[in-house]
Amino acid sequence: MHSGGWVFDVYPEPGGMALWLVGEAGESRKFHVPFTPSFYLDAAPEGLLRYLARIGVPTEIRESRRRHLDSGDEVSVAEVKVGEAPLYAGVVASLQRRFPERDFFTCDIEVESLFFYETGLFPLARIEAEAGADGRLLAWEMRDDPWSPAYALPPLTIMELGLEDAAAHPKQLAAGSGSGARGGLSVRIEGREYVIEPGFEARELTRLIERHDPHVILTEWGDDYLLAALSRLPDFGRIPFHRGGGALARRGRARSYYTYGKVVYSAPSYFFRGRWHLDRRSSFVVHESGLEGLFELARLSKKTVQRAARLSTGSIISAMQLEVVIGDGCLVPWRKGTVEEPKTAEELLTIDKGGLTYQPRPGLYENVGEIDFSSMYPTLMSEYNLSPETMNCACCAPVAGAGTVPEAGYHTCRRRRGFVPRTIAPLLEKRLDYKRRMRRAADPALREALDRRQRGIKWLLVTCFGYLGYKNARFGRIEAHEATTALGREKLLQAKEVAEARGYAMLHALTDCVWVAKEGASEADYRALSRDISRATGIAAELEGVYRWLAFVPSRGNSRVGVPNRFFGVFGDGETKIRGIELRRSDTAPLIRRVQEEMLGALFGAADAAAYRALAPRLLEMLEGELIGLREGRVDVRQLAVTRRLSREPHEYKAAGAAALAAGEMLSLGVKLRAGEKIELIFTDARAKFPGDRAKALALWDGSRGYDAEWYAEELFKAAASLLFPVGLGSGDLKKRFPP
C-alpha cells in the first residue's frame, strides 16, 4: 500500500513505534515501524544477563565501539538494545539502580528522538511510504529536508478550547466568585464558536471532536487546569482526545525551578496520541514565535511537536547538539563529569567579567545611530570553535595568535571542529536566509510565516550562549562561556575605538550593540561606520537605524545615573523602539501600561527633541484626566490587576508580602499555588496596619473594600516620570502637582 504525507506524530508501542501520517487532504493514518532503542554501559557488569532475564524484557547485549566525547578516542562499550520501546526508560532506570557503579551513556533521551536520529525522519517531514496490509511501514522515501527554508505544511484543523470570559487563572477562580468569574467551556473551530454549559462538557465536547476530527486541540491553561478539571467528569474517558482510543493520563510531575533570576513553575503535561494538545500558556515557543516557529523548531530538533512546545529553547538547542554528538558516534554521558578548572581570585576577576556594558548618561539625544552585531555570541562560538570538547584540548599546545582567547589565555582545538559550532553555523545561515526571503516576499502572510520561523531560530541562538556556561546544561562548560564573553568584550571595545576615531560619541553599549552619535551625520555615514566596524572586528555589524531622538531613562534612585537597556525612541522612518520601561514589564497593571503607551503615542509624533519637550503640557493633561477617573473609582478593577510571581511555596514565606498573603488566602480556600506560579493582585489599602488588608487576589476580589487609588496614582506618576524627565519632572514633582 502506497501512502504519502507528513510525519505528524510518533510514540512507542509494543514492538516499535506508532507513526501517524497526515495526507494532502488532511486524512490521518497510523502505521507501525519496528524499532529497538539502545543505550550503553562502560562494561557489562557481572550478573547483567541474569538480571535482564529476571525482569522479563527482551534485550540484546553486544560489544560496540564508540567515541569518547572529550578526547574523540574510540572506546569499547556494552550496547544494550531494548526489544520493547515502551519499556526503554524503565529498563534504564532499573539497571541504574541495580548497577550504580557502572557508567551509563546515551540513556536519558526520549525514545521518539532516538527513533528520529536513527531513521533520519523528523516531525512534519514530507515522505512517500510503502506499507503492508497489516499497517507495518516497509519503506519510505524522504521528500523533505529539515534545513530547507521552503517547505510545505500539512492542512491542519485546529480546535481552540478554553474557558469563557476567564479574567484570571481558572485554578484561582475556583476559589471564589470574585471579579474574574467565568462562564462555560468555550470551543472555537472552523470559524464557529460554541459555549458548553457546565454539566454538558463531556457529551458536547465528544460530539464536536467526532464531527470535526481536529488535528490540533489548542488550549488555554490545558496542562495546568482545564484537562485536569475535565478528568473529574464521570464521562471523561469517553472524550476522544486520542486518535484510536485509550485513557488520557498526565505526563511528568509538577516542578518549580530557578532560571535567569526567577522561579518558574512547570505543570505536568497532557499529550494526545495521533492528535496534538498544545497549551498556549505553557509554551514559550508558541508565545514568542507562534505555531510556525514551533513547527520550525520541532523539525530542526527532532522533538515531537507536543514535546517541543513544552521545552525551553535551551533544551531544544541541547537536543540539536545531541543529534550532532550521536551522529559522530560519540557517547553521551548520563551524568556530566566535567568540572571547572580551578582559578585564583585574580584570574576570576580578569576572566569572569561577562559581557561589556557602557552605562548610558540619562538624557534626550538626537540623530543617534544604533549598530548591532548580528548574533554576536553565536557567531563567535562558530568562528572561534568554542565548544566544551575543544577548550584547552590536550591535543593542541597553545600558540600565540592561533585559537588563543584574549585575557583568559585559553586555547581552542585546531584539529577538530566542535559540535557546538557545527550545531550553530547552519542555524545562523538559515536565519539569514529567512531574513533575505522576508525582504523579497510580496505576500504578507508568507512574510509573517518566515518572520515567525526566524524568530524561533533567534531564540535558539539567544539561548545557546547561556547554556554554554549553565552548570546543569548537558554540554555546558564554563571555560567556553568565559571565552565567548572575553571575545565579545574585545569586539565591543574595537567598535568603540573605530567609532571614536571617526568622531562619533559613544552613548551606550550593551553586550552586542552600540549607540553612537555625531552631529550632522547622515544615514549613509552611519552605514559606512557599520562597515568599518565589521572590517575591524571580523563580525558582521548592521545599522539597526538612525533615531530622530532617543531617550535614555534615569535611575529612580539617582537621576544622574542611567540604566542599561532602559530607553525609548523613534527612528527616522517612524518605527519605534521601547526597552525596559513600565509598559514592557510583566508586573505593570494594564491601566499603567495603557496610559504610558498613549503618552508615548503622542511623543512618537515629535520630529525632534524640541518638539518632544513641547508636548509636556499635553502629557500632563492626559495624566490629570486619568487621575480623576482613578480617584473617583471609575476604573474597571481588571485594569488594576498587578501580576506577581511566587518565589517559593506559600507556606515557606516568612515576610508577609502581598503575593504571599494572597496565596495563603487561596490555600485556605483549597487552591494551592506553587512556587513559580503567578497571581494577580488588587491593592486595596497598601499601607494598612493589618497585612491581610493590603491586597486581594483578583479572583477573590468582590468590590467590598474598593481599591487603593493613591497606590495606583503613585504607579502612574512613576510611569509618567519615565517620559517627562527631559523637562525636569520626576515622580515626586508629579505627586506634588497632582495631590489627592
Contact criterion met (CB below 8 Å) for 53 and 76 = no
Other Cβ atoms less than 10 A from the Cβ of 517: the count is 19
Which residues have CB under 8 Å from 480's CB, separation 6+?
Answer: 381, 386, 387, 388, 390, 391, 420, 468, 469
Residue 569 to residue 525: CA distance in whole angstroms: 20
Q: Are strands 276-279 and 216-219 parallel, antiparallel or unpaired?
A: parallel
Q: Quick one: DSSP state of residue 226?
A: I
Q: Is the dihedral of CA 425, 428, 431, 437 positive or negative?
A: negative
Q: How confident is the model at residue 173 (pLDDT cuts 50, 70, 90)?
A: low
Q: What integer is the mean pLDDT of 547-562?
A: 93
Q: Quick one: DSSP state of residue 359?
A: P
Other Cβ atoms less than 10 A from the Cβ of 343: the count is 16
Q: What integer is the mean pLDDT of 247-264?
A: 75
Query: Reduced to 3 states, what is the DSSP secondary structure of residue 537?
Result: helix
Residue 659 to residue 667: CA distance in whole angstroms: 12
Residue 646 to residue 675: CA distance in whole angstroms: 5
682 φ, ψ (degrees, to nearest 5): -115, 125
Q: How confident is the model at residue 172 (pLDDT cuts 50, 70, 90)?
A: low
pLDDT at 177 over 60: no
* The predicted structure's pLDDT at residue 289: 97
Mean pLDDT of the chain: 92
Q: What integer is the mean pLDDT of 448-477?
A: 87
pLDDT at 470 over 70: no
Which residue do the cell numbers 537536543 mark?
A: 319
Q: What integer is the mean pLDDT of 281-300?
A: 96
Q: How confident is the model at residue 665 (pLDDT cuts 50, 70, 90)?
A: confident
pLDDT at 406 over 70: yes
**Tens of pLDDT along 707-739?**
999 999 999 999 999 999 999 999 999 999 999
Grid coordinates belonging to 598: 498613549
Q: How confident is the model at residue 374 (pLDDT cuts 50, 70, 90)?
A: confident
Residue 625 to residue 409: CA distance in whole angstroms: 61
pLDDT at 368 over 80: yes
Q: How far is CA 568 from CA 322, 544, 595, 610, in A?
A: 40, 14, 16, 16
* The predicted structure's pLDDT at residue 472: 64
**Tens of pLDDT along 325-336?**
999 999 999 877
DSSP line for 272-341: -SSSEEEEGGG-HHHHHHHHHHHHHHHHHHT--HHHHHHS-HHHHHHHHHHHHHHHTTB--BSS----PP
Residue 448 to residue 24: CA distance in whole angstroms: 23
Residue 231 to residue 242: CA distance in whole angstroms: 14
Residue 553 to residue 723: CA distance in whole angstroms: 8
pLDDT at 623 over 90: yes
The residue among 45 and 143 whose pLDDT is bigger is 143
What percentage of the chain reaches a pLDDT higher than 90? 73
Residue 723 to residue 736: CA distance in whole angstroms: 17
**Residue 350, class by beta-carbon neighbours within 10 Å (0-12 exposed, 13-18 middle, 19+ buried)?**
middle
Grid coordinates belonging to 643: 501580576
Query: Reduced to 3 states, what is the DSSP secondary structure of residue 464?
Result: helix
Residue 167 to residue 590: CA distance in whole angstroms: 12
Q: How confident is the model at residue 265 (pLDDT cuts 50, 70, 90)?
A: confident
Q: Quick one: DSSP state of residue 351?
A: H
Q: What integer is the mean pLDDT of 46-74?
A: 90
In the 3-class helix/strand/coil scheme, how is 84-131 assigned residue by residue? CHHHHHHHHHHHHHHCCCCCEECCCCCHHHHHHHHHCCCCCCEEEEEE
* The predicted structure's pLDDT at residue 379: 96
Q: What integer is the mean pLDDT of 562-590?
A: 96
What percentage of the chain reaches a pLDDT higher than 70? 94
* The predicted structure's pLDDT at residue 620: 98
pLDDT at 175 over 60: no
Q: How confident is the model at residue 178 (pLDDT cuts 50, 70, 90)?
A: very low
552 φ, ψ (degrees, to nearest 5): -95, 120
Residue 488 to residue 719: CA distance in whole angstroms: 34
Domains and CATH numbers, the chain: 357-580 (3.90.1600.10)
Q: Is the dihedral of CA 720, 726, 732, 735 positive or negative?
A: negative
Chain-centre distance for alpha carbon 321: 17
Residue 380 to residue 723: CA distance in whole angstroms: 37
Q: What integer is the mean pLDDT of 359-373?
A: 97
Residue 176 to residue 165: CA distance in whole angstroms: 15
Q: What integer is the mean pLDDT of 659-673?
A: 85
The residue among 499 and 232 whose pLDDT is bigger is 499
pLDDT at 167 over 60: no
Other Cβ atoms less than 10 A from the Cβ of 414: the count is 15
Contact criterion met (CB below 8 Å) for 515 and 568 = no
The lowest-confidence range among 137-146, 531-540, 666-675 is: 666-675
Query: Reduced to 3 states, what is the DSSP secondary structure of residue 455?
Result: helix
Amino acid sitting at position 332: V
Q: E-strand spans in 331-456?
A: 357-358, 363-373
Chain-centre distance for alpha carbon 425: 20
Residue 377 exposure: Cα atoms within 13 Å on the Cβ side: 27
Contact criterion met (CB below 8 Å) for 488 and 406 = no
Q: Quick one: DSSP state of residue 402?
A: B
Q: What share of the chain is helix, strand, coil (3-state, %, to 5)?
A: 40, 25, 35
pLDDT at 255 over 50: yes
Q: How confident is the model at residue 687 (pLDDT cuts 50, 70, 90)?
A: very high
* The predicted structure's pLDDT at residue 666: 85
Grid coordinates belonging to 557: 534612585
Contact criterion met (CB below 8 Å) for 543 and 369 = yes
17 φ, ψ (degrees, to nearest 5): -125, 140
Query: Per mean pLDDT, which of 25-39, 459-473, 685-699 is the most reliable?
Result: 25-39
Q: How far is CA 393 from CA 67, 414, 416, 418, in A?
A: 16, 9, 10, 11
Helices (H) and strands (E) in the chain, counts: 21, 28
* The predicted structure's pLDDT at residue 180: 42
Contact criterion met (CB below 8 Å) for 274 and 243 = yes
**Residue 734, class by beta-carbon neighbours within 10 Å (0-12 exposed, 13-18 middle, 19+ buried)?**
buried
Contact criterion met (CB below 8 Å) for 180 and 168 = yes
pLDDT at 409 over 70: yes
Phi-psi region of 39 (alpha: psi -120 to 50; beta: other; left: phi over 0): beta
Q: How confident is the model at residue 261 (pLDDT cuts 50, 70, 90)?
A: low
Phi-psi region of 242 (alpha: psi -120 to 50; beta: other; left: phi over 0): beta
Amino acid sitting at position 112: E
pLDDT at 321 over 80: yes
The residue among 484 and 266 whose pLDDT is bigger is 484
Q: Quick one: DSSP state of residue 476?
A: -
Residue 392 to residue 71: CA distance in whole angstroms: 11
**Tens of pLDDT along 380-399?**
999 999 999 999 888 887 76
